[in-house]
Amino acid sequence: MRVFIHDLETKDFLALFPKPLDKTLTISDNGTIHHCLGCFGCWIKTPGECVIRDEYGNMGEHLSRCSQLLIMSQCCYGGFSPFVKNVLDRSISYIHPDFQIRNGRMHHQRRYSNEIDLKVWFYGENITEKEKQTAQRLVQANAINLDCHVYSVSFAHSIVELEEKVLWL
């Protein structure tokens, strides 16, 4: 299964993906997501599940079942859009609170045994080289924290340009 997190407007999403995506859980902004409280309840009170009971509360479980994590986000100062960042924050239950040393650095242990390939597409009209570098480092850091692989990080100036980059779906 794939998990596809995006911040596209409905019309843009349908222009890029006119047919339903096979074996893909699509996470988009329906205006109801609550911000992560930073309470770590997903580690202590309800291990593996967010304590906020909404449709984004099972992000850790969703990630545990996927082999590909696909993210399409507007590039905001070299980072993800607020919605995508919020979904990723709400996904912290995917990892375990205990630490281990990986590649000479301390990171959270895996909670699940699946292997995830990560693909990220950033879009925006005026993405600077500095923002691209920051975004690439951010995705690499997220991949290390989630113990997944960076498959690709791509940039597009517009939604139209994204069409050429997402033919694989």
Query: 2-165 belongs to which CATH class?
Result: alpha beta
- C-alpha distance across the termini of the chain, in Å: 13
Tens of pLDDT along 134-146? 999 999 999 988 8
Contact 21, 2 (CB under 8 A): yes
Tens of pLDDT along 86-105? 999 999 999 989 998 888 88
Contact 155, 139 (CB under 8 A): no
Neighbouring residues of 147: CB distance < 8 A, sequence distance ≥ 6: 95, 102, 107, 110, 116
Q: What is the 8-class DSSP label of residue 119?
A: E
What does pTM read for this prediction?
A: 0.93
Delimit the domains of the chain by residue range: 2-165
Tens of pLDDT along 51-81? 998 889 899 999 999 999 999 999 999 999 9
Tens of pLDDT along 99-127? 988 888 898 888 898 999 999 999 999 99
Helix boundaries (H) for 113-152: 129-145
